[in-house]
Structure 1
Amino acid sequence: MTEFNLRVAVKEDCLRLMELIKELALFERAPDEVTVTLKEFEEAGFGAKPVWKAFVIEIDGLVVAFALYYVRYSTWKGNRLYLEDLIVTEEHRGKGLGKLLFDRLFQEVRELGFSGMVWQVLDWNEPAINFYKKYGADLDAGWINASLSKQQVANL
């Protein structure tokens, strides 16, 4: 495999991360759903009250993969790492980068003393589902996602 650098994301990565997020949204058939601005994204990760952290993998100085997470508190389980996105650019898939990021997340869970890690996967994303099954992940079909947009909340 080509030489790579796995590291913690810095503010200067945000523009590239947004590009990859838009690439993911296109893959997930929801390109118009990315409404966060670069400024909002930067503030959420590197402002006065950061809410997310990410690990990135760069090859030849270009970020080609990342895993972004935040802390989720479960009244049943305690602190858990919530994996929001794990993205590997199409040309770099199948090279073990996803595994490297996943392993780094497991290390983070252990270092922070969390009770586990949770995430979501689309039911039609077979490559991702198969990847997660390799780890013995529990895939729970019993929950339905619910959300309200900023506009919906404003209208209430």
Structure 2
Amino acid sequence: MATFKIRPAAVEDCEEIFRMSEELNIDEKLPGSSEYVTVESLKQGGFGDEKFFHAIVVETIEPADGLPKKNTEEESTNQNCSTDNSTLPDSLVEKAANQRSRLLGYATYSFCFGTYGPGRVLFLQDIYVEKEHRRKDIGKALFIELAKIALSKRCQEVNWHAFSWNSGAVEFYKKLRATNATTKINLHSFFMDYKDISRLVTESKEADQ
């Protein structure tokens, strides 16, 4: 049975993160990536000199055919999650390289500062788990890892958005005891795309002339 672990993303993960982000866009009925979201822009934005986001990934590890798996005490209590690779007898350590590993989920986040009260805030942009691996507590494990990161950075809040029609996600967040800001404090979310940003700047320049 495959095990999984959560770890910080590496630049080599960007192709898989891009693939999963495309799947997330389909799930959320979004048009998909643009010229601004590519494997290369992920590498630059997450691992370049000017970092715009951080990421963690869920990696599954499956023993290769014919490679016996060590039955540890940890596995007897949790068949789904593993934080290390100690699933093989010591005599077969060299064969561990034959294990198949792939990414099955990810989360991207950044930090901001809320002067309205919380101060340091971790903002969760994307969280995704492949469909065939859902309802296995992997999404919850991702949130727990994000919570640990937030606490390590002395954040007072973790914020994110969700579509109102995505009832499955909304119910999942309720089970985490997250607060729905729209119903609790009547908070609405706004955005300006590149066209709107450019228009605003252009209009301000014209007004100054």
Cα deviation digits, residues 68-117 of structure 1 (max 9, x gap)? 11002111221100011110000100011001111101111111111111
Q: TM-score, normalised by structure 1?
A: 0.93
Larger Rg: 2
How many residue pairs match? The answer is: 155
Runs of 4+, deviation exceeding 3 Å: none
SS in 1 for 2:112: strand
SS in 2 for 1:73: strand
Shift of 1:144: 2.6
Aligned partner of 1:31 in structure 2 is 31
Q: Structure 2 stretches of 5 or more lacking a match?
A: 62-100, 203-209
Q: Partners in 2 of 1:23 and 1:137 — Cα distance?
A: 25
Cα deviation digits, residues 27-59 of structure 1 (max 9, x gap)? 111134x22122222111000011211111111
Aligned partner of 1:153 in structure 2 is 197
Aligned partner of 1:74 in structure 2 is 114
Match of 2:139 among 98, 117, 120: 98
Q: In structure 2, give the amino acid aligned to 1:124.
A: W
Contact 1:44/1:52 (8 A) holds in 2:
yes
SS in 1 for 2:181: coil
Contact 1:22/1:31 (8 A) holds in 2:
no
SS in 2 for 1:104: helix
Q: Partners in 2 of 1:2 and 1:16 — Cα distance?
A: 19
Q: Partners in 2 of 1:4 and 1:67 — Cα distance?
A: 15
Aligned partner of 1:10 in structure 2 is 10
What RMSD in Å do the two structures reach over aligned CA positions? Answer: 1.4
Q: Partners in 1 of 2:124 and 2:102 — Cα distance?
A: 22
Q: Structure 1 stretches of 5 or more lacking a match?
A: none
